[in-house]
């Protein structure tokens, strides 16, 4: 049995695409006879506070479903103060260094990036001719930070670019969740070995029922958003810009914009928006199938980003309205998974919504979406191709 270590900033019980992605990877590798260990901070995302059951600990080791989990100390913060956020990342890097010194590290290590500094810590300390370092790139930092407005193109940005290049250079294999990410890597290092590793779901697709169940006001198109209520998703602005004459919006999730959204709903009765709070992933799967369509928004088009919701929702047979541009838009169009609105244009979004007819959202069309997902977004096949490279 071959040992393999995964270094990540996100892991359950934290919720969200990042933690689910790493959990599925760890479980999949375990099923392929790998002895898997995971190093991750004490859970704190997205609240920026250590979860209640983990407070007061410097380090917690556990075995969960046969996977050894090392949870390390971090100065948890989701503050907008860039120095506090930097210190939070550095604190985990220091914990990683301590872990590397006090533990035997396997010959094969998968490192999640971003955060760049955490990946840099692993790359600079673990690089060795005898060790295989695999960099799993889920977003293109610092480029994504620039496009989100979180970074400015100054001296610190150039430093982050150098760190990014160092990480790519010292990886033996780079996994990218999109073709755009791999193209970006190849533009810097043309000879680097890469592998397209999409965020495909690892659950069995549910049996779709002919009887559609819908929440809310009869006759209106029931649109649902589920996920992180962060700045990048732009759900707060979405609430303000939608035309509610024939639409009711339902929201599930938590994040930085949650309070703003709750206050907006409370202070404006004209907005036909229902906030349901945060629920478990298993529960959200059941809830999503009750609505007409789900919306996947991005406040700004982010190069390299492909929301994992696309693949997950397709497995559920859910019609999608994509509002983020880029590679995600192409996937929706190419596989006929729903509708696309021009990124950043709320006029176009409302126009597209006004043209959606409920008769188009039936049992047969849901089956087609699910069939496309099973055929094209196969986690097991992708994992088997990846395992060959280990």
Residue among 240, 243, 246, 249 nearest 215 (CA): 249
Question: Which CATH number applies to 2-202+378-388?
Answer: 3.40.50.2000
Mind listing the pLDDT tens digit for each residue in 5-25?
999 999 999 877 788 889 999
SS3 label, residue 286: helix
Confirm if 285 and 272 have CB atoms less than 8 A apart. no
Tell me the two tokens of residue 284: 């959200």
Q: How many Cα atoms sit within 13 Å of 362 on the Cβ side?
A: 4
pLDDT score at 112: 96
- Say whether domain 221-376 belongs to CATH 3.40.50.2000: yes
Residue among 6, 9, 1, 21 nearest 281 (CA): 21
Mind listing the pLDDT tens digit for each residue in 48-99?
889 999 998 999 999 999 999 999 999 888 777 777 777 887 899 999 999 9
Do the domains at 2-202+378-388 and 221-376 have one common CATH topology?
yes
Mind listing the pLDDT tens digit for each residue in 325-375?
999 999 999 999 999 999 999 999 999 999 998 777 888 889 999 999 999
Confirm if 15 and 35 have CB atoms less than 8 A apart. no
Q: Where are the domains of the chain?
A: 2-202+378-388, 221-376
Rounded Cα gap, residues 355 and 38, in angstroms: 47
Question: What's the angle, vertex CA 105, arms to CA 99 and CA 109, rounded to 5?
Answer: 105
- pLDDT bin (cut points 50, 70, 90) of residue 382 is very high
DSSP state of 303: T
Rounded Cα gap, residues 136 and 27, in angstroms: 16
Tell me the two tokens of residue 4: 């393999």
- Residue 216 pLDDT > 50: no
Mind listing the pLDDT tens digit for each residue in 251-296?
999 888 999 999 999 999 889 999 999 888 888 888 888 899 999 9
Mind listing the pLDDT tens digit for each residue in 84-98?
777 887 899 999 999
């Amino acid at each position: 049995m071959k040992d393999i270590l995964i270094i990540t900033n996100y892991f359950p019980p934290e919720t969200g695409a990042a933690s689910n992605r790493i959990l599925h990877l760890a479980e999949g590798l375990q099923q392929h006879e790998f002895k898997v260990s995971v190093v991750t901070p004490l859970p704190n995302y997205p609240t920026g506070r250590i979860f209640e059951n983990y407070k007061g600990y410097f380090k917690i080791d556990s075995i969960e479903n046969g996977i050894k989990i090392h949870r390390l100390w971090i100065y948890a913060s989701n503050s907008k103060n860039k120095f506090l956020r930097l210190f939070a990342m550095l604190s985990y890097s220091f914990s990683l260094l301590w872990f590397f010194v006090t533990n035997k590290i396997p010959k094969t290590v998968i490192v999640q990036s971003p955060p760049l500094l955490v990946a840099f810590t692993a790359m600079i300390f673990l690089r060795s001719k005898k060790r295989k370092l695999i960099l799993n790139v889920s977003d293109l930092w610092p480029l994504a930070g620039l496009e989100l407005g979180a970074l400015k193109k100054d001296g610190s940005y150039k430093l982050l670019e150098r760190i990014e290049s160092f990480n790519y250079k010292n990886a033996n294999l780079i996994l990218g969740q999109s073709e755009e990410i791999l193209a970006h890597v190849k533009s810097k290092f043309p000879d680097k070995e890469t592998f397209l590793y999409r965020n495909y779901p690892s659950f069995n697709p549910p049996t779709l029922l002919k009887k559609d169940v819908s929440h809310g006001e009869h006759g209106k198109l029931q649109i649902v958003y589920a996920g992180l209520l962060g700045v990048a998703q732009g759900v707060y602005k979405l609430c303000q810009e939608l035309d509610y004459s024939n639409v009711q919006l339902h929201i599930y999730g938590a994040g930085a914009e949650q309070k703003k959204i709750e206050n907006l709903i409370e202070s404006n009765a004209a907005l036909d928006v229902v906030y349901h709070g945060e629920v478990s992933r298993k529960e959200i799967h059941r809830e999503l199938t009750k609505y007409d369509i789900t919306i996947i928004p991005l406040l700004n088009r982010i190069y390299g980003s492909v929301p994992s919701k696309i693949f997950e929702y397709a497995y559920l047979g859910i019609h999608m309205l994509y509002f983020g541009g880029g590679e995600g838009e192409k996937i929706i169009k190419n596989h006929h998974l729903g509708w696309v609105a021009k990124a950043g244009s709320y006029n176009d979004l409302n126009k597209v919504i006004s043209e959606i007819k409920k008769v188009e959202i039936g049992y047969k069309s849901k089956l087609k979406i699910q069939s496309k997902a099973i055929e094209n977004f196969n986690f097991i096949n992708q994992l088997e191709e990846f395992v060959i490279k280990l």
